[in-house]
């Protein structure tokens, strides 16, 4: 006897996105990146298996200028499954960052211009992320009506909003760290 098929985190992530609106596999692949990096080769088969399990369903949308696409929606059964998962404790986040290893070895090459370059590149990355998130924030605020004001916890955009806020806080901290390290490194 085997119970209900158990889903992995990526699968729950797809269901999470689909609580907002319908998406194609292509769109899901793009939108899930900031939360959970994954390639289309992982998403497409997973969507197929979620559909087989009855947690999502799709409608084919015929397009003329672009290839046809499959628009996926979460089902009642998928919503229930997601609801159970939402109530459970979240696992510890896992971050894997090459730069941490390279930073740890700074005593081996701190005088090299390569060392400075690593932190300049990371600072640039943080600045780009911050710029992206600031644009997103404005977008969500506009969509929520009262511009300048923050969405409240009952707003449908509250989830999106707090995640943008988290990104802003964390990337700001990372940028400041990079700039501090650069100030400590010899020119």
Which residues are near DNA by CB under 7 A?
8-10, 24-27, 36-42, 44-45, 47-48, 63, 65-70, 94, 96
Question: Which one, 14 or 25, has the nearer CB to a second copy?
Answer: 14
What is the closest distance, in whole angstroms, from the C-beta atom of residue 9 to DNA in the complex? 7
The pair of structure tokens assigned to 17 is 């996105």
Contacting positions for a second copy (CB under 8 A) = 9, 12-13, 16-17, 19, 34-37, 82-83, 85-87, 89-110, 112, 114, 117-118, 121-122, 125, 152-160, 162-163, 165-166, 169-170, 172-174, 176-177, 180-181, 184-186
Q: Give the DSSP H or E segment for 130.
A: helix 113-143
Which residues, at least 6 apart from 110, have a Cβ–Cβ distance to it below 8 Å?
185, 186
92 binds, among DNA, a second copy, none (CB under 5 to 8 A by kind): a second copy
69 binds, among DNA, a second copy, none (CB under 5 to 8 A by kind): DNA
Neighbour-count burial for 33-44, b at 16+ CB within 10 Å, e otherwise: eeeeebeeeebe
Distance CA 130, CA 141 (A): 16
Distance CA 152, CA 109 (A): 49
What is the closest distance, in whole angstroms, from the C-beta atom of residue 50 to a second copy in the complex? 15
52 binds, among a second copy, DNA, none (CB under 5 to 8 A by kind): none
Please, what is the Cα angle at 143 between 140 and 145, to 5 degrees? 115
């Amino acid at each position: 006897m085997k119970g209900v098929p158990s889903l992995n985190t990526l699968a729950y992530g797809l269901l999470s996105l689909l609580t907002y609106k319908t998406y194609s596999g292509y769109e899901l692949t793009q939108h899930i990146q900031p939360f959970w990096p994954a390639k289309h080769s992982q998403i497409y088969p997973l969507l197929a298996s979620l559909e087989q399990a009855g947690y999502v369903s799709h409608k084919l949308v015929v397009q003329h200028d672009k290839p046809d696409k499959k628009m996926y929606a979460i089902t009642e059964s998928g919503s229930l499954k997601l609801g159970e998962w939402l109530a459970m404790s979240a696992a510890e986040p896992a971050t894997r960052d090459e730069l941490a290893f390279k930073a740890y070895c700074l005593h081996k090459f701190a005088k090299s211009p390569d060392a400075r370059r690593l932190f300049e590149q990371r600072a640039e990355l943080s600045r780009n992320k911050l710029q992206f998130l600031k644009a997103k924030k404005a977008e969500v605020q506009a969509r929520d009506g009262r511009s300048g004001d923050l969405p409240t916890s009952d707003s449908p955009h509250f989830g999106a909003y707090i995640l943008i806020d988290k990104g802003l806080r964390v990337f700001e901290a990372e940028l400041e760290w990079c700039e501090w390290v650069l100030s400590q490194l010899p020119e």
